[in-house]
Structure 1
C-alpha cells in the first residue's frame, strides 16, 4: 500500500509543479492563459502578479509532498506521513475552494484534487 500511496502523492506533486510552471513562469503565453479561461493577453498581463504568487503556493505544496515522501522512505515515518498528509490535505482543500468559486471550475478542481485525494486516502491506510 505504501508504494501505491507514494505513486499518488508523487503524481500529485508533479501536477502541482506543472501548475507552478504554468502560473509563475509561462502565464503570459496564449496557450497557458487560455487554459485558465483568461480572455486575452491584456487580461493575462494584468493577472500575472496574482498567477505568479498562486503558482508558488502550488510549488510549495509539491515540495512538501515530495519531502514527506523522502522522509517516509528514509525511515522517518511519522514526520514523512505528517508532511504528506498536510500537503495533500492542503491540495485537496484548495481544490474544494476552487469548486466553490463556480460550477465552471469543476473540471479544474477535479484535476487539481483527485490525485491528492487518492494520495491522502491511501497514505491514511498505509
Structure 2
C-alpha cells in the first residue's frame, strides 16, 4: 500500500510539473519555481512545453504501472519509470538546480525503495 501511495505522489508531482511547464511557464508562480525572468520565460516557452510533455510521459508511465492488471508487470513498469525519474532528477540537480535532487529525486527514491521491498 505504501508503495502505491508513493508512486502515486511521484506521478502527481510530474502532472503538476507538466502543468507548470506546458501551461503556466510565463506566470509568476512558474517563473519563481524555475528561477526565470519574464524575458527568459518568454524566450524558452516552447522548450518548457516540450519538457512538460516529457514529465507527462513519466506520470503516465507511473499510473500505467499502478493500474496494470498484472501485479508483476505493473511493478516492473513502476520500477522502470521511477528509475527514469531518478536519473532525470540526478541530471537536473547536477546541471540546473540542486534542489531538484530533493524535490524530485528524493520522492522517486523513496517510492523506488517501497516498490522494491513490497
TM-score class normalised by the smaller sequence = over 0.9
Looking at structure 2, the residues matched to 48 and 121 of structure 1 have their Cα atoms a distance apart, in angstroms, of: 35
How far residue 107 of structure 1 moved from its aligned partner, in angstroms, is 1.5
Looking at structure 2, the residues matched to 96 and 28 of structure 1 have their Cα atoms a distance apart, in angstroms, of: 25
Which stretch shows the higher mean deviation, 106-115 or 90-99?
Answer: 106-115
Q: Does 1:58 align with 2:52?
A: no
Query: Runs ≥4 in structure 1, deviation > 3 angstroms?
Result: none
Q: Which runs of 5+ in 1 are unaligned?
A: none
Which TM-score applies when normalising by structure 1?
0.89
Number of equivalences: 118
How far residue 35 of structure 1 moved from its aligned partner, in angstroms, is 1.5
Q: CA RMSD in A?
A: 1.1
Give the match for residue 82 of structure 2: 88
Q: Which runs of 5+ in 2 are unaligned?
A: none
Q: Deviations over 1:37-70 (max 9, x none)?
A: 10x2121011111110001111110010011000
